[in-house]
Structure 1
Amino acid sequence: MQDMQQLYEQGYAWLVTNGADFLLNLVGAVVIFYVGKWAARGLKGVSRRLMQRARLDDTLVSFAANIIYALILAFVIIAALGQLGIQTASLIAILGAAGLAVGLALQGSLSNFAAGVLMILFRPFRVGDYVEAAGTSGTVDEIEIFQTRLRTPDNKVVIVPNASVTGGTIVNYSAMDTRRVDMVIGVHYDTDLSRARNLLMEIITADERVLADPAPVVVVGDLGASTVDFWVRPWCKATDYWPLKWDMLETIKTRLEAEGITIAFPQLDVHLFREEGQGAG
């Protein structure tokens, strides 16, 4: 009971001596907190509008705005605690150590996050592009903060970590408006090459999807073991690439056979020699 009385007297004496200062500091801390919180919200809105004007990805805009708000609010809280007389140096050190530990534990996720931000900023591809990255290929469905979703031609969804995408070679098949269709047509060595070349050029130029500029190319590209290989390379719009290639291969085979030109295939000639002294058997 005596201890409680002594504690009460000490508290009353401190309040009489320091009460006014503490009240002023408390009011100052509350003002700092609410004004700082209001300023943080305002800066969050300004930064969001600036990023939207720059036409950044909505995912990045939302995430970056929230990060800005959280960082400003953290400084506001530290300033309010300092106004109350609380030593914030040790608190900052503890938060820094905790942040370092969390960063080391989540370094894989942080690298994926950084890669996602870089992809959104530098735009190696966009949603809807057909790309090849991280050992897989497909149409980009969504670019998220930590991962990218690809949809394969057979309608499978492949989720690739962003760090794996940016850590390797990216092939964007949709980046340009036009593409070249590369086909190799092998004919027999006995074929009249001039006639075959003219026929191949006639076939590809007859298709309205083939562009006149750049001009299509038909050349003898290789002399193989069993075939003379023509490199047939027409240009088309990127959206026509696969339909044109499939139609061209079928049309070329049909027309060449109708014109009596054989599309060669690997053949092996076997020569048998009979040694002297061996019987007919």
Structure 2
Amino acid sequence: MTLLQTGAEGFQVSPSVLVNAAVVLVVAYLFGRFLTSVLSELAERSPRRRITIKLFIPITKFLVYGAATYLVFGPLLRLSSAQLLAVSGLLGAALGFGLRDLFAGVVGGLLLVTERPYQVGDKVEIDGDYGEVTGIGLWATTLTTPDDTVVRVTNASLFTSNVANANDGNPEMMVVVDVAVAPGADIDRATGIVEDALVTSRYVYVDDDHPVVVLVEDETYYRTIRGKAYVADLRDEFAFASDVTERTLAAFEAQGIETPTFPGVGVVDDGDG
């Protein structure tokens, strides 16, 4: 029996082809999971190189699954014109009946590997969801939010949504902390306190390319002191913001720096980088 046949009974595939395809797909899945686990373990053991190592996870998946796809669909390359026409009709019908979104997601996944708007380990916001990229698959990207919620965002969203990358592949990331003070507060002393809280945090990362910046913005009923600084490890984003906020408020209270007392105004951490 040939691998694929067309005739009075229509388009047929020999059982041996189906068995071989199933075996190849199972082996590819298990091998891909094994390589992903190895790379993830290596990445977690080297925080400074974590993002670089995890970059190879989606690339490895695409290579393994791409090879499996070739082995499964390789026989199609040797089909006759009539067989190719039959296969094309089946694929066209499949795409028309619901696989269009899946196909768009796969194309988006290929673009992620080639263009790299983000990679595993980055902190990103996609279509309103913010978190750390913990996986990039053929169809979807997995984010883990600050509340430890796992969100799967289809890769097709690259074509329709903006993507904000807070660290762009670097382990360091800017964190912004806003503190509100009363209009009559001593602004020089207050900014000095905020700056000191930033530079003395155990999470901060400071050098010539990663400075600490403190800005003052006038609002209608209060002033906002905005502190900007980098963390050495992007996973310390919220620990850093909490540390700076807690020590800043304690220093404000100790030195008599007034904060707004009416409801709705206080300390704001917007988490933007």
TM-score (norm 1): 0.62
User: Are the equivalent residues in 2 in contact too, given 1:227–1:266 (CA < 8 A)?
Assistant: no
Q: 1:62 deviation in Å?
A: 2.2
The structure 2 residue matched to 1:227, chosen from 222, 225, 232, is: 222
**In the aligned structure 1, how far is the partner of 2:177 from the partner of 2:251?**
16
Q: Matched residue of 2:249: which SS? A: helix
Q: 1:112 deviation in Å?
A: 1.4
User: Are the equivalent residues in 1 in contact too, given 2:172–2:205 (CA < 8 A)?
Assistant: no
Q: 1:196 deviation in Å?
A: 2.6
User: Which residue does 1:3 correspond to in 2?
Assistant: none
User: Which residue does 2:117 correspond to in 1?
Assistant: 124
Aligned runs of 1:29-40 on 2, under 5 Å?
none
User: Which residue does 1:196 correspond to in 2?
Assistant: 190
Q: 1:64 deviation in Å?
A: 1.6
TM-score (norm 2): 0.64
**In the aligned structure 1, how far is the partner of 2:125 from the partner of 2:143?**
10
Alpha-carbon distance change, 143 to 262 in structure 1, aligned in 2, over 3 angstroms: same
User: Are the equivalent residues in 1 in contact too, given 2:182–2:221 (CA < 8 A)?
Assistant: yes
Aligned partner letter, 2:136: I
Q: 1:260 deviation in Å?
A: 1.0
Q: Matched residue of 1:181: which SS? A: strand
**In the aligned structure 2, how far is the partner of 1:215 from the partner of 1:206?**
13
**In the aligned structure 1, how far is the partner of 2:148 from the partner of 2:130?**
12
Q: Which runs of 5+ in 1 are unaligned?
A: 1-40, 42-51, 79-87, 268-281
User: Which residue does 2:10 correspond to in 1?
Assistant: none
User: Are the equivalent residues in 2 in contact too, given 1:226–1:266 (CA < 8 A)?
Assistant: no
Aligned runs of 1:1-281 on 2, under 5 Å?
57-76=59-78, 78=79, 88-105=80-97, 106-174=99-167, 175-213=169-207, 214-220=210-216, 222-237=217-232, 238-266=234-262
User: Are the equivalent residues in 1 in contact too, given 2:76–2:84 (CA < 8 A)?
Assistant: no
Deviations 1:230-253 (A, max 9, x none): 222233322332211101111111
**Aligned alpha-carbon RMSD (Å):** 2.8
Once the two structures are overlaid, the 10-residue window that deviates more, 195-204 or 59-68, is 195-204
Deviations 1:232-280 (A, max 9, x none): 223332233221110111111111111111112448xxxxxxxxxxxxx
**In the aligned structure 2, how far is the partner of 1:121 from the partner of 1:113?**
13
**In the aligned structure 2, how far is the partner of 1:227 from the partner of 1:109?**
50
Q: % of aligned pairs identical?
A: 22
Stretches of 4+ aligned residues off by more than 4 angstroms: none
**In the aligned structure 1, how far is the partner of 2:134 from the partner of 2:171?**
20
Q: Which runs of 5+ in 2 are unaligned?
A: 1-23, 25-34, 36-55, 264-273
Alpha-carbon distance change, 125 to 257 in structure 1, aligned in 2, over 3 angstroms: same
User: Are the equivalent residues in 2 in contact too, given 1:150–1:158 (CA < 8 A)?
Assistant: yes
